[in-house]
Structures are given as structure tokens and as C-alpha cells.
């Protein structure tokens, strides 16, 4: 092993891999596609579910300030992602960035970690999609049996006990993963076009809620805007605003998925920063406006409901009754596009790892007709469908959160390393206020990780231990950079 565990892939090699004939993926995505991909990944369960919980339990109407805090934390990571994506415009996201800056072993760690974000993320959202679709169909008298629309396993976060629910399988969750997987195999352009339509639907529904809901706001519901702390940290007051920011931080997860499509972007060096930062900006504004309207219509303690936007619509009475079905349609559309983007991101990370020799060559196969990484797409979809069909949403959500935050930490640290070690590299986009922004990105992400339960950390450690075993048993001996003759 001439180069060892921390061998770095040269930027020249990476750029060569991304350009010309060596790029086997089809470049079809423009700036608008990338922005909508980001919005498609971000706007989902967060805006339709987490907002009410954060307002009712932690921040009150000041949940809008929590969105600002959480948005800023994501902007720190987003700016670092944008610099990397413009500088190294190839598929693989944080995995590729780590390979260029921190070495092969750290790259493997982040590649393995990203499975928690993308693959398990798709499974988590599919479980949420199942709940909304089951409810929506019930409104029209179509009832999916409970034993076919729930996970057969449940987990008690307090007692840490697993139990069986009596259900057989969460069939709707499996169904949506299979459909999205088939769409992604057919082609990235078709998938992007579908995502564009879905993003338009959910953004229009959100804008309708904001526009028409404003006339039903009772400003008395905003008083006090920052409810007084009840003596416990995180229960209202300023500490509650920050606790709520930690909760709704996960409503922003997904913007980094834009960077996994770099090899399919027409002009990645100019358009990737637009995709990442543009989608973040749009979603932050929408989140703040929804928070204001929702807490203006309904007194915040009443919003502790799995469907807080629907609660606000119902509270407005007959004046907004017509919005009830569109809100559910918007939620279903929102969750559908999140599943699509998550299932799009993971195969492209596997694709990059296979090209580097860290995974079997079959993982790097591109479909001769559709020019998509079909082997890894089918593999990802199959595993995601099984997980979605068997496991409850809570246990999956925590894994997604901690995996994502670890990726943010490594990307921000990578910018710090590369700026000092390789200042001469061409950077079409530079993270501003260096080194403050990357440092704040590392600190804010670690801070949010610290608020997660100990069990979640334990699962992360176990997952990482499995990955390390695979690296030393297989990947280290097949790595192209360490074994150029293979």
C-alpha cells in the first residue's frame, strides 16, 4: 500500500473523470432542474409535520426565528458544498470531496455514512408517504387494511424495546419506492421532469395556504411572540427557539443531494452553487411564511399534531375548507419528490465508489440505453423498499439525521483543509468569509448532533464499525489509487 489509508485522489484525475468521454452519465440538467431537485429533496415531511411540533412544544410563534437559525446552519454547510461542487463537479457528493481532501479512508467513512442519509432517508419518507396516502384514500371510502399499511415492527424510544405490531407489511411504502426506482432507471431527464411537476404542485399548494391563510390570521395568537420559558431548558424562551431549530433542522435535509448530480449537469461549475443555495433560499422563505400563517391562524399549543397545516386549514372554518384536499395532495407530492431525489443520490455515490475500486465493478455499470447507473439504482431501491416495509418511521428518522450531520461536518472540514493545503486550485465559487463559515458549519452541525439521543449515537457507531470491517476486508485491497495494477 504505497499511499496508505489517507491517499488522496488528485483533482486533475477527478476533473478528467468528470469530463469528456470518461463521463458515462448523460449531461441533461440545467440550472432550473438543479434548483428544483434541491427543493424537491427539502420540502417534504418537514414543512407538513415538524413545524407544528416545534411550535407547540418548544418555540411558540417564534418558530419562525427557529427556521432562520436552522437555515443559517444549513447555509454554512451549503456554502461549503457549493465550493466543492463547482471545483469538483463529479457524482459522489461529500464522498468525492473527502477523497480529494482528507484521503481514502475518510472518503470511505463518509460514503458509507451517506447510506444513512439517502437510502434510509428514502425509506423514512416512504413510511410518511404511506400514512398520507392511506388517509387520503380513506377520505374517498378506499380503506387499505391496517395490516398492509403499517410496519410489522415498532420501537419504544423510552424503554428501548422492540415489539411486533401484528401488521404484515407496509405495502404503500414499498409501492412508492418501487415506482420511483423504475422511473430513475429509465432516465435522469425523465426523473427530473417528473420532479419539476411535483415541485410545482407542492409549492403551489404551500403558496395557496400562505396567500389565502393570511386573511384568517388573528394577531392575538402571536402574543407573546416568544413564550416565557417554563424553567426547563428548551421549553420556550430563547432556549426553546434553539431547541426548535435543532428539531426543524432536519426539515432542511436534502439540499446536498443536488451535488450528487454534478456529472449530469450541463454546466456544473456555474450551476451547482445556484442549485444548492437557490433551493435553500426558496425553502427558508417558504418555511418562515408557513410558520407565520400557521401560528397566526391557530394558537400554538393546538399545533402538536402530525398534520399541523391541516389543523390550521380546519381552524379557519368554511373559508379554507376547499384547501383540505389540496393540502393532502401537496403533502403526498412533497414526499414523493423527496423519495425520488434520495433514491437518485445514493446510486450515484455507489457509482463513484465503484469507479474508485472501493466497491465491486458491477456497481459502476451504466445502462447501455438509458445511460443511468441502473445496477446501483435497483439495489438501492430494493433495500430501501424492504426497510420501508418493515421498520417504523421514528427509528429511521434518527439515523438519517445523524448521518446527514456527520456528512456536513466532514464537508466543512474538507474546505478548511483544502484552502490551506491547495490554495492554487481554481475555485469558480468560493465560500465567503473564510475560515469563519466552514468553522461555524462544523460547530453548528456537531452541536445539533450532540442533542440526539445516545441510542442514535450507538447505532451510528455500530453502522460505522460494519463499514470499517468492509473497507479493510475488501475495499483497501481493490482501491485503484492504492493498487494501480488492478
How is the chain split into domains, by residue range? Answer: 34-478
Q: Is the peptide bond before 60 cis (omega within 30 degrees of 0)?
A: no
pLDDT value of position 471: 94
* 179-223 residue pLDDT tens: 999 988 887 666 667 777 888 888 888 999 999 999 999 999 998
pLDDT value of position 64: 92
- What is the length of the chain? 486
Cα–Cα distance for residue pair 451/374, rounded to 1 Å: 38
How many Cα atoms are found within 13 Å in the side-chain-facing hemisphere of 149? 16
C-alpha cell at 52: 407544528
pLDDT value of position 100: 79
Phi, psi of 304, deg, nearest 5 = -75, 75
Cα–Cα distance for residue pair 354/348, rounded to 1 Å: 10
Residues 6+ apart with CB under 8 A from 139: 325, 328
**CB contact at 8 A, 85 and 77:** no
- Which CATH number among 2.40.240.20, 1.25.40.10, 1.20.1740.10, 1.10.3470.10 corresponds to the domain 34-478? 1.20.1740.10
Phi, psi of 168, deg, nearest 5 = -95, -45
Neighbours of 142 (CB within 10 A): 10
Residues 6+ apart with CB under 8 A from 270: 31, 86, 428
Give the closest residue to 333 by CA, choosing from 141, 173, 450, 200: 200
For residue 171, the SS3 value is helix
Residues 6+ apart with CB under 8 A from 404: 116, 117, 121, 250, 253, 256
pLDDT value of position 1: 41
* Rg of the chain (C-alpha set): 22
pLDDT value of position 21: 46
**The pTM is what?**
0.78
Cα–Cα distance for residue pair 216/29, rounded to 1 Å: 40
Residues of the chain with pLDDT under 50: 1-2, 21
pLDDT value of position 108: 92
User: Which residue intervals of 298-373 are DSSP H helices?
Assistant: 308-315, 324-355
C-alpha cell at 268: 456544473
* 250-298 residue pLDDT tens: 677 777 767 666 667 777 777 778 888 888 888 889 989 999 999 999 9
Measured on CA atoms in the order 417, 418, 422, 424, is the torsion positive or negative?
A: negative
How many Cα atoms are found within 13 Å in the side-chain-facing hemisphere of 301? 4
Amino acid at each position: 500500500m504505497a499511499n496508505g489509508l489517507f491517499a488522496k485522489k488528485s483533482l486533475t484525475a477527478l476533473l478528467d473523470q468528470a469530463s469528456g468521454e470518461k463521463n458515462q452519465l448523460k449531461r441533461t440538467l440545467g440550472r432550473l432542474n438543479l434548483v428544483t431537485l434541491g427543493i424537491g429533496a427539502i420540502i417534504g415531511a418537514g414543512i407538513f409535520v415538524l413545524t407544528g411540533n416545534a411550535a407547540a412544544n418548544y418555540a411558540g410563534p417564534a418558530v419562525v426565528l427557529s427556521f432562520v437559525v436552522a437555515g443559517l446552519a444549513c447555509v454554512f454547510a451549503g456554502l461549503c458544498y457549493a465550493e466543492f461542487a463547482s471545483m469538483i463537479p463529479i457524482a459522489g457528493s461529500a464522498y468525492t470531496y473527502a477523497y480529494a481532501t482528507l484521503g481514502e479512508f475518510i472518503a470511505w467513512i463518509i460514503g458509507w455514512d451517506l447510506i444513512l442519509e439517502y437510502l434510509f432517508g428514502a425509506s423514512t419518507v416512504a413510511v410518511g408517504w404511506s400514512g398520507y396516502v392511506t388517509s387520503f384514500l380513506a377520505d374517498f371510502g378506499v380503506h387499505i387494511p391496517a395490516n398492509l399499511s403499517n410496519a410489522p415492527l415498532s420501537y419504544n424510544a423510552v424503554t428501548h424495546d422492540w415489539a411486533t405490531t401484528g401488521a404484515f407489511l407496509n405495502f404503500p411504502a414499498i409501492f412508492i419506492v418501487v415506482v420511483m426506482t423504475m422511473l430513475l432507471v429509465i432516465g435522469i431527464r425523465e426523473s427530473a421532469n417528473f420532479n419539476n411537476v411535483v415541485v410545482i404542485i407542492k409549492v403551489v399548494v404551500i403558496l395557496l395556504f400562505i396567500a389565502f391563510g393570511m386573511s384568517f390570521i388573528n394577531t392575538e395568537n402571536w402574543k407573546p411572540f416568544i413564550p416565557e420559558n417554563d424553567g426547563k431548558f428548551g421549553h420556550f424562551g430563547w432556549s426553546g427557539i434553539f431547541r426548535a431549530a435543532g428539531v426543524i433542522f432536519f426539515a432542511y435535509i436534502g439540499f446536498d443531494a443536488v451535488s450528487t448530480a454534478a456529472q449530469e449537469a450541463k454546466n456544473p461549475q456555474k450551476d451547482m452553487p445556484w442549485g444548492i443555495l437557490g433551493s435553500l433560499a426558496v425553502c427558508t422563505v417558504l418555511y418562515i411564511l408557513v410558520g407565520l400563517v400557521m401560528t397566526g391562524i391557530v394558537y400554538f399549543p393546538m399545533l402538536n399534531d402530525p398534520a399541523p397545516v391541516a389543523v390550521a386549514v380546519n381552524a379557519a372554518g368554511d373559508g379554507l375548507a376547499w384547501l383540505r384536499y389540496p393540502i393532502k395532495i401537496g403533502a403526498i407530492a412533497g414526499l414523493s419528490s423527496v423519495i425520488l431525489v434520495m433514491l437518485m443520490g445514493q446510486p450515484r455515490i455507489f457509482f463513484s465508489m465503484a469507479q474508485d475500486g472501493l466497491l465491486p465493478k458491477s456497481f459502476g455499470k451504466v445502462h447501455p440505453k438509458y445511460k443511468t447507473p441502473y445496477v446501483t439504482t435497483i439495489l438501492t431501491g430494493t433495500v430501501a423498499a424492504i426497510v420501508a416495509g418493515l421498520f417504523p418511521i421514528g427509528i429511521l428518522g434518527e439515523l438519517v439525521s445523524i448521518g446527514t450531520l456527520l456528512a456536513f461536518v466532514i464537508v466543512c472540514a474538507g474546505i478548511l483543509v483544502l484552502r490551506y493545503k491547495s490554495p492554487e486550485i481554481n475555485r469558480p465559487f468560493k465560500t465567503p468569509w473564510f475560515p469563519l463559515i466552514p468553522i461555524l458549519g462544523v460547530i453548528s452541525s456537531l452541536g445539533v448532533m450532540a442533542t440526539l439521543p445516545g441510542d442514535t449515537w450507538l447505532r451510528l457507531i455500530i453502522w460505522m464499525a460494519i463499514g470499517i470491517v468492509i473497507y479493510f476486508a475488501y475495499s483497501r485491497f481493490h482501491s485503484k489509487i492504492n493498487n494501480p495494477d488492478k
